[in-house]
Amino acid sequence: MPELNYDVVGRTRPGQAVWDERPAGYRPFERTVGVGRGPQDWERVGAGVLDWQVKTRSGFTVTPVGGDDFELTARVGPVTVTEPVRRIEVVDRPDRRGFSYGTLVGHPVSGEEAFIVHRSADDRVWLTIRSLTRPAPGAWRWAFPALLVAQRVYRRRYLRSMGRS
């Protein structure tokens, strides 16, 4: 079984409303956007987030490998990048749904990402993305600056992915 390539496992805390994690050596990111209102949007977005649709609607292919391990595949022109990951935590409550995944050895970066849908008292539905990122050890380290650019592009896609369809 592949190993995680980072040491702050579980620190994106998808079950918590307030996130104040800033471990040394990692670039933290958190952004929240509105994605709907009411019970129908809550059900649609909540089910979609738990089913990896933030990734698949953003251009990734998600392939189960076994247990909580998955391969995420992104194609950009002639380039294909495969990212091995492990689901770390799943949250499925009446007001909050989502999960976090961590990077495995062989992933281009090192860290953890969480996709969380939650609803507020006024029945608005929100999508939050959290991540902790640092260069992966090994051959990918040299590409980290370019990977940060790609990460920004994909984050914009993630934040738009669960809007009304």
**CATH number for the domain harbouring residue 140:** 3.30.530.20
Q: How far is residue 148's CA from residue 131's CA, in Å, rounded to a whole number? A: 12
CA 90, CA 64: separation in Å to the nearest integer?
16
Direct distance between the N- and C-terminal alpha carbons of the chain, in angstroms, rounded to an integer: 38
- 74 occurs within a structural domain: no
* CA–CA dist 53, 61 (Å, integer): 10
Q: Return the pLDDT at 9.
A: 97
Confidence of residue 122 (pLDDT cuts 50, 70, 90): very high
**Using one digit for the tens of pLDDT, what is the confidence trace for 1-17?**
789 999 999 999 999 99
Q: How far apart are CA 77 and CA 43, in angstroms?
A: 34
Strands 124-135, 27-37: pairing is: antiparallel
Question: Is the residue at 137 inside a domain?
Answer: yes
pLDDT tens digits, residue range 49-62?
999 999 999 999 99
User: Does 120 fall in a domain?
Assistant: yes
Task: Decide if 80 is inside a domain.
Answer: no
Query: Does the predicted model carry a pTM greater than 0.75?
Result: yes
pLDDT band at 164 (very low <50, low <70, confident <90, very high): low
User: What's the mean pLDDT in 15-29?
Assistant: 94
Q: Residue 47: give the domain boundaries.
A: 27-58+85-161
The number of distinct structural domains making up the chain is: 1
pLDDT of residue 27: 93
pLDDT at 138: 81
Question: pLDDT: is 135 or 144 the higher one?
Answer: 135
What's the pLDDT at 71? 97
